[in-house]
Chain A
Amino acid sequence: MITGTAITKTFKQRGNVLGKREVPALRGVDFAIEKGGAVSFIGESGCGKTTLGRIIAGLETYDSGEIVIDGVAMSGLSHRHRQPYFRRIQLIHQDPYSALNPTRTIHQTLEAPLRLRARQTGRPRSWVDARAEELLALVGIDPGYVLPRYPHQLSGGMRQRVVIARALTMDPDVLVADEAVSMIDVSLRLGILSLLRDLRERLGVSVLFITHDIATARYIGDEGELYVIYRGQVVERGLTETIIADPVHPYTQSLLSAIPVLHGLERPGAEQVVPTEALDEAQADGGCLFTRRCPFSTARCETERPVLGHDGGESGEDTEQLHACFHPRRRSVIPQGVHV
């Protein structure tokens, strides 16, 4: 199990005549990833979801806060002692076309990490080839076909499966999938999503799923938890199904309202929320971070920043999920199926 408390991260941009600009990427984020669980981070580009994913995978440093893996606080450990913990968290890259070395066959790609793994665990060399075949079968591709081939000879869906197989060579506890299906053909996306779900069930691996497409988060399995991130702050958090069906934060509602309606099969939600302005990263940080774009903003939102809680606020609706809004209210925003 991995928990994070009050994680902050600020990117400093190089100075120009106006001096240095600081961009807060994460403003005190708490998270918890249970063993075998599924956690999804959603939000627009630049919201900090990818940065948080990279911090959890040990690929990025953070300014303050604490990450605890299986009861061990990472801040107390040297880089060398931290490595074994972060090795159990593996990142699946977004782009299966650039994630694999084009000059190596799939066999070579899998062989290198597996040899390392064999040394670490005291297994014989013969184990490497058997394990490579086992992993490819696990991700649903024919080892005999794939092993001797180069990445360019495989389709996008197959490459992404190879990338997942490579992540599995380290026997990870957590797979961090950053936009893992956005570059895959539509007819094959569900295949990758159900593979991730399957790996959760069969291997007990946790999945951290980072995406801008909320609908895909439903497909990585039951009891998934959703974090809606806006400008470095978690604004709504709870069970994926609860938040999609009953969102209370106006930002979550804007995201869900923006999802296209399949005319002929669905009709749009009755209370869609459209932000009043486009995202402007440079806008002032006073009050609620969403207030400038929020159609329901009040004077209080301009000066005070809401924190994550169950408080029903002025609307008095206590909620199952956590949210950071003074005026939470359920609105029907997602498309509804048409009944004939």
Chain B
Amino acid sequence: MSRDSAAPEVRIRDLTVVYKTPAGELPAVSRVSLTLTPGTITGVVGESGSGKSTLALSLLNAVQPPGRIAAGSVEIDGLGDVLRLDGEDLRRTRGRKVGYVFQAAQNSLNPLKTIGKQLLDLGRSHDVEDLRALVADAKALLGRMGLDGARVLDSHQHELSGGMRQRVGIMLALVLNAQVVVLDEPTTALDMITQSTILRIIREVHEERALTTLVITHDVGAVAEVADDLAVMYGGRVVEHGPIAEVLGTPRHPYTQGLIRAIPRLSGDISLARALPGRPPTLGTLPAAGCVFRERCEKRMEICETVEPATATYDGRSVACHAAGRPAPVKRREYA
């Protein structure tokens, strides 16, 4: 098997995805531009309704009705614009080029078939000629992740623990040598120790196979452990994006600042931690004009009511906030 060793770049440009509701078509993702640097892990964090899952599905051009990709492009090196693919071309792309790891908790495996049978189905649907080699690859991958490959392939999903299922999901996403991998909430519903194992595996496999990886999660902690870059989503927008140490260390957007302050930590003064006021917006409660975060923002100004902030670059990361030019980093002593 041959594999192009250079990881592809992914360029999302002005992506808008709308959902049809009784109140008309409302944007779940609104003019999002995001570049995934080849060979890096990008984490996307957001709360419920932030549009992070819709963004992830767009990478596979898999947004289902009542959703619709209304505008924009998703360019992947060697593939072109994924949003222009359809029918057979699109089906071949999924799995072969772009691997998707679903939430372990969602039971994305077929309960009636062994993992091995599902692997063969996958191989046949992608016209893999040498199925023996595919099985050997799968066993090697599972072995790499600390599992007994032969035993796992003979198992049904109910015989596997949550952490094992998650590793099976990663194997199925990678076995066809996809080079772009999307992981949707890879550690949700896993125990702490299992979570830490899975995160380590994601990092190692990512490096060994030269992938471009996107991790979607609501858990800043989980993504902080593995990602190189962090994109913070709120109300369908990417509000801050940059190298993880900078975004977490000196967050510029008031939402990022508030989110970091709200994470329960093992050290530091607990009286300084506090929840963000208000609640995350839903499709129906998103303001039509102005900044989507202003309702919960402690820095809101007059201009936030009417003008949506443009994305600007400040010391190596992009921020969409009218107040970002005046930095107020999270105070260090909170974590000392």
Chain A interfacial positions (CB closer than 8 Å to B): 44-45, 155-158, 185-191, 193-194, 212-216, 218-219, 244-245, 254-266, 274-275, 278-279, 334-340
Complex interface: chain B residues within 8 A of A261 (CB): 224-225
Given A186-B47, A263-B244, A339-B332, 14 new contacts (CB under 8 A):
A185-B48, A185-B280, A186-B259, A187-B258, A187-B262, A188-B275, A212-B191, A213-B264, A259-B266, A260-B221, A260-B222, A264-B250, A278-B161, A337-B267
Judge if B328 is at the interface, Cβ distance under 8 Å. Answer: no
Partner of A339, one of B192, B262, B275, B336: B336
Complex interface: chain B residues within 8 A of A260 (CB): 195-196, 199, 219, 221-222, 224-225
Most chain A Cβ neighbours within 10 Å, of B263, B268, B270? B270
Q: How many A-B residue pairs have CB under 8 A?
A: 141
Partner of A213, one of B48, B192, B197, B260: B192
**Is B263 within 8 A of A264, CB to CB?**
no
Given A187-B258, A189-B275, A334 and B225 contact (CB-CB distance below 8 Å): no
Complex interface: chain A residues within 8 A of B193 (CB): 44, 254-255, 258, 275, 279
C-alpha spacing A157/B219, complex, angstroms? 16
**Is A214 within 8 A of B266, CB to CB?**
yes
Q: From B329, which residue of chain A is reached at the shortest CB distance? A: A340
**Is A186 within 8 A of B273, CB to CB?**
no
**Is A258 within 8 A of B276, CB to CB?**
no
Nearest CB in chain A: distance from B8 CB, A: 25
C-alpha spacing A212/B192, complex, angstroms? 7
Complex interface: chain A residues within 8 A of B279 (CB): 155, 157-158, 185, 188
**Is B275 within 8 A of A187, CB to CB?**
yes
Per-position contact with A for B159-178: 1 when CB-CB < 8 Å, else 0? 00101000000000000000
C-alpha spacing A261/B227, complex, angstroms? 11
Partner of B196, one of A157, A218, A257, A279: A257
**Is A215 within 8 A of B220, CB to CB?**
no
C-alpha spacing A188/B146, complex, angstroms? 36
B203-251 residues at the A interface, CB under 8 angstroms: 218-222, 224-225, 244-250
Complex interface: chain A residues within 8 A of B219 (CB): 186, 260
**Is B221 within 8 A of A259, CB to CB?**
yes
Complex interface: chain A residues within 8 A of B192 (CB): 44, 212-214, 255, 258-259
Partner of B218, one of A186, A263, A275: A186
C-alpha spacing A189/B280, complex, angstroms? 12
Partner of B195, one of A256, A258, A336, A337: A258
C-alpha spacing A212/B187, complex, angstroms? 13
